[in-house]
Amino acid sequence: MDKKELIEFEEMIKDLFLDKKIRSPVHLSNGNEEELIRIFKKIKKDDWVFSTHRSHYHALLKGIDKNWLKNEILNNRSIHIINKEHNFFSSAIMGGILPIALGVALAMHREKSENWVWVFVGDMTSTMGVFHECIKYASSVYGLHINFVVEDNGLSIKSPTEKVWGKYDSVYIYRYKYKSVYPHQGCGEWVIF
């Protein structure tokens, strides 16, 4: 799937949301297509992907059929996309996806699997203790096949992340920055007072 197709999918979901066809929260992506396409070229078919409430791009790039995904969103599961056939799991619980991804990576390690786990989080989640504990456990205790990807749009909902939480980096973390087009939830426009 290319950048144009990703954007068109989110625009379609935005229109469905505005037409009140989707009755639950949706968290749209835009502005991070190129970076995600680059990352997903490294993700193999049998690797696991654990995603956040902003999971549409991840699901599509993992190979999930866009019509299946659209149906899940129309059935109010936008922020809880689960597809075992594609080893894909998302959760809206901030930081909640991390221990699940770590557990799958540990199970794969015990089975001597060569596959990897990729877990995506936002910049605010990367400031949480559970994030750091999972990295410490995965890297220093077991050397698990797990990559942590921080999607950094510079905002913790609406607050500037770096201003609120400070700045740091680690060799075990992929981090990329992008400018978010959509607000935290829904598809409205930013209003500055």
Domains in the chain: boundaries? 3-177
Cα separation of 65 and 7, whole Å? 15
pLDDT of residue 171: 47
pTM attached to this predicted model: 0.82
DSSP assignment of 36-75 equals HHHHHTT--TTSEEEE-S--HHHHHHHT--HHHHHHHHHT
Q: Residues 6 or more apart from 172 whose CB is under 8 A from it?
A: 135, 138, 139, 148
DSSP 85: G
In the chain, % of residues over pLDDT 90: 63
pLDDT of residue 112: 96
Q: Work out the mean pLDDT of the chain and round it to a whole number.
A: 88
- 3-state class (DSSP) for residue 150: strand
- 3-state class (DSSP) for residue 123: coil
Q: Choose the CATH number for 3-177 among 3.40.720.10, 3.40.50.970, 3.40.250.10, 3.40.50.300.
A: 3.40.50.970
